[in-house]
Amino acid sequence: MIDAAIHTEKITKKYDGVTAVDSVDITVEKGELFGLLGPNGAGKSTLIGMLSTMLRPTSGNAQVWDYDIKRDATKVRKSIGVVFQDTTLDQKLTGRENLDLHGRLYGLPKKSRHQRIDEVLELVELSEWADEIVQKYSGGMMRRLEIARGLMHHPNVLFMDEPTLGLDPQTRNHIWDYIKELNREKNITIILTTHYMEEADRLCNRLAIIDHGKIITSGTPMELKSSLGGDILNLEFTTNEDTAKLIEHYSANTLAGSISASGNTVQITTAEGERTIPDVLKVTSQIGLDIQSVSLHKPTLDDVFLHYTGKGIRDSDTDAGKIKTMRRRRHAGK
């Protein structure tokens, strides 16, 4: 038995022949704040759905807090909390009533249930709003109440699926502080899905980049950025055809540094960026390309995603609805 919070073995989920999660192997240690970083439609929510026993894998398996997600589904559910991407609060109930209902569903005795409600409301700074109906809450307050609800039954693992999606920057930063405190002060293992690079970089001890249902690479944010080495040189061109021409020229002449493209922007990873710029400008001039702008910076998680997938995360977002559309069609036909 592997002593880990989460351990998956070739876990796979298919919908009508479309593979949403493809043979994923991950291990999350107890006490970690682990991120799944990828565009919408990459398979993040589907993976969380299987680990939380709401979806049954097509093949493969996983253990959550040493419980098998197929054989021990009830024990898994008692060990986890889930903050869903879309709100599932009853907006006609008060904050306290929403928490009380959740506590009843988990069989918490009345005395300990009421005590726990006060504790989690204080934790997310909603004590003064406890007896207001949720309909009056702001988006950030609803998200904080959902975090409180996920903590009601003292879970060992908390799944947070896009916890700051749609929130304004100030509220998003506030939620980040709660998430870090939960992990650091309460020692709760947190599995976080996100397509926000800054969120993954700021919060996660380790993260895995997922695209088209596959884990592309994993490590700490620093390890992933350092894996590129050196500097990132971005060249913006007038057309996508210009980027293709430069990449073709690089490949044919085996020039220094790795190169990739996203739309009309070319990214060159090089050990010495400042010395590379004159050489690159010379090459583009020789082959008749018109550069719109040039920038040089240290690697970011955006650069890591582009390097390992060959596209930017925003490019991937344009295909985000494909799997979801197929799911809707499947359910509509039933």
Pairwise CA distance, residues 180 & 80, whole Å = 18
Q: What is the gyration radius of the CA atoms in the chain, in angstroms?
A: 23
pLDDT at 318 over 70: no
Instruction: Express each pLDDT in 164-218 by its tens digit.
Output: 988 888 888 989 998 998 899 888 999 999 999 999 999 999 999 999 999 999 9
Q: What is the signed CA dihedral for 293, 296, 300, 303, rounded to 10 degrees?
A: 50
What is the pTM assigned to this prediction? Answer: 0.82
**Chain centroid to CA 301:** 12
- The token pair at 72 is 């021990």
Angle 26-31-32 from CA coordinates, rounded to 5°: 45
Q: Dmax over Cα atoms in the chain, in whole Å?
A: 78
Pairwise CA distance, residues 214 & 219, whole Å = 15
- Asked if 306 and 312 count as a contact pair (C-beta separation under 8 A), the reply is yes
- The token pair at 138 is 């702001």
- Smallest CA-to-CA distance from 80 within 59, 98, 57, 62 is with 62
List the domain boundaries for the chain: 6-224, 229-298
Q: What is the pLDDT of residue 165?
A: 87
Pairwise CA distance, residues 194 & 33, whole Å = 13
More confidently predicted of 263 and 206? 206
Which CATH fold would you assign to the domain 6-224? Answer: Rossmann fold (3.40.50)
- Asked if 34 and 215 count as a contact pair (C-beta separation under 8 A), the reply is no
User: In the CATH scheme, what architecture does the domain 229-298 have?
Assistant: 2-Layer Sandwich (3.30)
